């Protein structure tokens, strides 16, 4: 994958081949500049690949795939500030991949409850904390009934405790919706805690450095999961890989 920078051609990613199964929760980690965000922009169809092919559900993509929705790091500029939280979720329902069955009001309430924002339906995004805004963005993405959820450093902008809440929200949503999640993060602990499979990108974007199945038991729990010997082993191995 090569794209044109302002002054020269920048090859952000090359020799990368990855296959992600339906329903998987995959975390992509790597150092800054390894191309993990580029990979996600490619998958979301926002950036055309200069070479190679990306297939979603067997079909080569040309623009954003219909069955994918994104949760961006910059929630404040992703939510529509002129709509309430419920209004933003309704936007997701209106622009859905698989039009969900049922009454829209009930669906809005359902997705808000799923992310723990039932009480904030009529508030505006700017009235909420960063963590709550990102939960609203997750509810909006899920309301569109996606088969693929792409998350780019989605929890990097919030404080540590809100981050733990967001992690549990996305795990609950993933379990309920049966959606495939590709989660880009620079936080190894977060990757091991959330995913079943952690993909480490080569620091200069030369393909995949490691592709590790973690398969920790579910449901995960913030304290006990992080104390499991397997959690600590994967964490150590992955940190060594990334820091090398």
Partner 1 sequence: MATNSTVTTPRRAGRVPRALRSRIFGWLVFAGALLAWQRYASTHPSPRYATVTDVAAKWWSEIIGGPLPAAILQTLRTMLIGYAVAAVLAVVVGVLMARVRFVYVLVEPPLELLRPMPISAVIPLLILYLGIDDAMKISVVALAAFFHILLNAYSGAGSTPRTMMDTARTFGLTWRQTMTEVVIPAAAPGIFVGLRSALAASLVISVVVGMIAGNDGLGHLLMIQQQSFLVTDLIVGAVTIAMLGYVLNFAFLFVERRILHWHFGATRHQD
Helix (H/G/I), strand (E/B), else coil: 228: coil
For the purposes of burial, counting CB atoms within 10 Å of the CB of 118, is it exposed (0-12), middle (13-18) or buried (19 or more)? Answer: middle
Q: CA angle, corner 115, sides to 112 and 118, nearest 5?
A: 40
Q: Please identify which residue in 92, 131, 145, 205 interacts with partner 1, judged by CB under 8 A.
A: 92
Under the criterion CB under 8 A, does residue 184 sit at the interface with partner 1?
Answer: no
Contact window for partner 1 (CB under 8 A) among 28-36, 77-85, 172-180, 204-212: 77-85
Contact window for partner 1 (CB under 8 A) among 48-56, 64-72, 216-224, 227-235: 64-72
43: how many CB neighbours lie within 10 A of its CB? Answer: 25
CB of 55 to partner 1, least distance (A): 17
Judged by beta carbon, residue 138 or residue 242, the one nearer partner 1 is 138
Sign of the Cα pseudo-torsion (17, 23, 24, 29, in order): positive
Binding residues among 192-221 for partner 1 as defined by CB under 8 A: none
Which residues have C-beta within 8 Å of that of residue 27, sequence separation ≥ 6? 183, 184, 185, 190, 191, 192, 194, 195, 197, 198, 199
Under the criterion CB under 8 A, does residue 179 sit at the interface with partner 1?
Answer: no
Let me know: does 45 contact 63? Beta carbons within 8 Å. Answer: yes
CB of 63 to partner 1, least distance (A): 8
Cite the beta strand spans of 85-165 per DSSP E. Answer: 148-152
Binding residues among 132-161 for partner 1 as defined by CB under 8 A: 144
CB of 34 to partner 1, least distance (A): 21
Q: Prior bond to 219 cis, omega within 30?
A: yes
Judged by beta carbon, residue 44 or residue 185, the one nearer partner 1 is 44
Under the criterion CB under 8 A, does residue 45 sit at the interface with partner 1?
Answer: yes
Judged by beta carbon, residue 35 or residue 146, the one nearer partner 1 is 146
**Phi, psi of 123, rounded to the nearest 5 degrees:** -95, 160
Under the criterion CB under 8 A, does residue 37 sit at the interface with partner 1?
Answer: no
Under the criterion CB under 8 A, does residue 91 sit at the interface with partner 1?
Answer: yes
CB of 182 to partner 1, least distance (A): 13
Q: Please identify which residue in 22, 46, 99, 175 interacts with partner 1, judged by CB under 8 A.
A: 46
Percentages (nearest 5) of helix, strand, coil residues in the chain:
40, 15, 45
Residue in the block written with tokens 């992690």: 167
Contact window for partner 1 (CB under 8 A) among 15-23, 61-69, 180-188, 212-220: 61-69
What residues line the site for partner 1 (CB under 8 A)? 44-46, 63-64, 66, 68-70, 72, 74, 77-78, 80-83, 91-92, 95, 97, 124, 126-127, 144
């Amino acid at each position: 994958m090569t794209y044109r920078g302002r002054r020269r051609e920048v090859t952000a990613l090359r020799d990368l081949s990855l296959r992600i199964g339906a329903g998987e929760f995959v975390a992509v980690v790597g150092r800054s500049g390894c191309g993990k965000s580029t990979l996600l922009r490619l998958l979301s169809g926002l950036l055309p690949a200069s070479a190679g092919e990306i297939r979603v559900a067997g079909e080569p993509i040309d623009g954003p795939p219909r069955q994918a929705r994104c949760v961006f790091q910059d929630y404040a500029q992703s939510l529509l500030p002129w709509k309430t939280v419920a209004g933003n979720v309704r936007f997701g329902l209106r622009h859905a991949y698989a039009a969900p069955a049922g009454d829209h009001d009930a669906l809005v309430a359902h997705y808000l409850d799923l992310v723990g924002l039932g009480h904030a339906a009529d508030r505006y995004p700017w009235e909420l904390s960063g963590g709550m805004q990102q939960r609203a963005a997750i509810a909006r993405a899920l309301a569109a009934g996606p088969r693929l959820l792409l998350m780019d450093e989605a929890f990097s902008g919030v404080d540590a405790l809100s981050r733990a809440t967001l992690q549990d929200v996305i795990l609950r949503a993933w379990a309920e919706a049966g959606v495939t999640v590709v989660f880009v993060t620079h936080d190894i602990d977060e990757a091991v805690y959330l995913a079943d499979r952690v993909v480490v990108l080569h620091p200069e974007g030369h393909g995949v450095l490691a592709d590790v199945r973690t398969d920790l038991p579910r449901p995960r729990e913030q304290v006990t999961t992080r104390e499991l010997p397997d959690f600590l082993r994967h964490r150590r191995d992955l940190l060594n890989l990334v820091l090398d």
